Amino acid sequence: MQQIFRNKQSHFLLLAVTILFALVVWVSPVLAGENTLNVQRNGMNSCSVGEFVTGAHLDDNIFLCTTGLNAYNVDQERVDSSTQRKGMHACRQGEAVTGIHEGKNLLTCASVGGPIAELVDEDGSTQREGMHACPQGMVVSGLHAGDNDFLCGFRLVNPNS
């Protein structure tokens, strides 16, 4: 009888550890303000309203999205087809990407609520959640899909605010 009880305990413990591991793997990006749940908007795959792209696996059309910047409404987004900065398609200065249609070379952009400082993350050098991403705390403000380069930005804090 004690042997059966011990076997049930070890099975229960194994199940509990497995569930805990699954929660850490699946929930931790969401707790960090990031997720990979994408929606269709403006004719392209996009982050949920109010979120910005912080990483992307363009071949699979999956984005890593984050909150914590400027909250925006759908009517404050705009589709960009031509802005160029640092050798790649980009949103206007002070904006970041909320959606991407690689095949049509379109970006959906929204204001981050102020000026941003930018750097180029080349050739997929930063990886998070199995995809090319901007460094932690930064969002995608432009990209060159063919070179796997991201223009990554973070909002500058207004010293008067």
- Identify whether residues 38 and 25 lie together within a single domain: no
Residue 70, burial from CB neighbour count under 10 angstroms (0-12, 13-18, 19+): middle
Domain that holds residue 102: 34-155
Residue 35, pLDDT > 70, answer no
The H or E element containing residue 9 is: helix 2-31
State the pLDDT at residue 6: 52
CA distance 102 to 23: 32
* Residue 101: inside a domain: yes
Helix (H, G, I), strand (E, B) or coil at 43: coil
Instruction: Judge if 99 and 149 occupy the same domain.
Output: yes
Residue 161 lies in a domain: no
Domain match, 24 and 83 both = no
Asked if residue 75 and residue 2 are part of one domain, the reply reads no
Q: Are residues 18 and 74 in the same domain?
A: no
Specify the number of domains making up the chain: 2
Cβ–Cβ < 8 Å for 106, 40: no
Indicate the SS3 state at residue 31. helix
Question: What is the pLDDT averaged over residues 18-35?
Answer: 40
Residue-level pLDDT at 118? 94
The answer to whether residue 5 sits within a structural domain is yes
Partners of 55 in the beta sheet? 64, 133
For residues 48 and 34, is the Cβ–Cβ distance under 8 A?
A: no
Q: Are residue 2 and residue 65 in the same domain, yes or no?
A: no
Per-residue pLDDT, 25: 33
Letter for the amino acid at 87? G
Question: Are 22 and 77 in a shared domain?
Answer: no
Does 104 lie in the same domain as 41? yes
75-92 per-position pLDDT tens digit? 999 999 999 999 999 999
Among the ranges given (56-65, 66-75, 92-101), the one the predictor scored with the smallest mean pLDDT:
66-75
Is 38 found in the same domain as 26? no
- CB of 44 closer than 8 Å to CB of 101: yes
